[in-house]
Amino acid sequence: MKGIYCLVTYLNKSERIKIARLGYIPFKRGYYCYIGSAMTNLEKRVERHYSKKKKRFWHIDYFLNHAKLIGFKALEMTSREECWLADQIRKISDGEIRRFGSTDCGCSSHLQYFKKNPLKLRRFSRIFKPRLEDLLKSYASKKIAIKKRLLEFREMWKEPDERIFAELCFCICTPQSRARVCSNAIERMKRIGILFRGDEEDIRRYLIGVRFPRNKARYIVNARNFLTRRGDVVLKGKIGFADPIRVRDWLVKNIKGVGYKEASHFLRNIGLGEKLAILDRHILKNLLRYGIIKDIPKTLTPKKYLEIEKKMRRFSKRMDIPLAELDLLLWSEETGEIFK
């Protein structure tokens, strides 16, 4: 993740603190917000601030020897905009420490003072809602690559049934597992024929890095048995009807291990489900960040899935980004790649 962040600290007594070349500065008892940025690995930057054993480099390093770090907020962004964030927080703060953290920019300060805990202020929380214009900028930069990927998905329907079945197996493997790991496992089994001939134990051994491999191996064998006619996998004839909603319902009803998310994912990946939402953890996390949903449900029932899908579809129309393209965009914002 890359972007800007705000550390919220608490100083339990008024004191003078030496801040590098700024010298001794008087600090009042209260809360202080420090604004920074990290264009690579923001998580590690914040982790460093929490660490007690570190070399003092930034102004905040000196201050944190006295103040307690009680929380932080972050915003994903593709450019350094900590000055914008500092200005937003300055507008609602009770004061600032001049030149703190801002000797290399035009800001008066990157450390703002609050009498009360800013984490409990609604005005403070509103600042950290991600900006839709940033999402549109990201879409503009990735639009060609996303459309190219979707075109590749549409071409998938021309592939033999075995290739389509392999994509179904990939989607069966993805719950709570990394997509790239699942794809590699399926490709290995497809290459040596295990995917079409192996028993549950054979397949389980090849699901390296995939969570719940025993269950998923059983689902793959069950799906293969259900879809095999006279020794050949027959899948395209089963799902070749026009309405993707009906196809999704059929998959959920007949293929064990496939729920609404997996069915939607599979249909999108073979060019039949561009109007279906793939509500995996990355997408749900972003829908929450952009205020489309109020929370991430612990259990995604069919009713709840369809309810959130409807909200995502409305968000897609509002942003003027086709649903399938929005899915790949949000997924790439989390993972850093346009995969599947």
- Catalytic one of 216, 238, 280, 327: 280
What is the DSSP annotation of 198-245? --HHHHHHH-TT-SSHHHHHHHHHHHHHHHEETTEE--HHHH-SS-HH
List C-alpha distances in Å: 257 to 164, 265, 307.
Answer: 17, 13, 21
CB 264 within 8 Å of CB 251: no
Distance from chain centroid for Cα 84: 24
- Catalytic one of 2, 73, 238, 261: 261
CA pair distance 340, 336, nearest whole angstrom: 12
Alpha helix ranges (H) inside the chain: 42-50, 59-63, 82-90, 122-127, 132-155, 161-173, 179-192, 194-197, 200-206, 213-227, 236-239, 244-254, 260-269, 281-289, 302-319, 323-335
Angle at which helix 260-269 crosses helix 161-173, to 10 degrees, equals 140
CB 135 within 8 Å of CB 329: yes
Residue 253 is among the residues annotated as catalytic for this protein: no
CA pair distance 247, 334, nearest whole angstrom: 29
CA pair distance 280, 198, nearest whole angstrom: 29
Residue with tokens 């968000």: 315
CB 261 within 8 Å of CB 177: no
CA pair distance 151, 158, nearest whole angstrom: 12
Rg (alpha carbons) of the chain, rounded to whole number: 25
Phi, psi (deg, nearest 5) at residue 98 = -60, 140
Residue 261 is among the residues annotated as catalytic for this protein: yes
What are the catalytic residues?
Answer: 261, 280
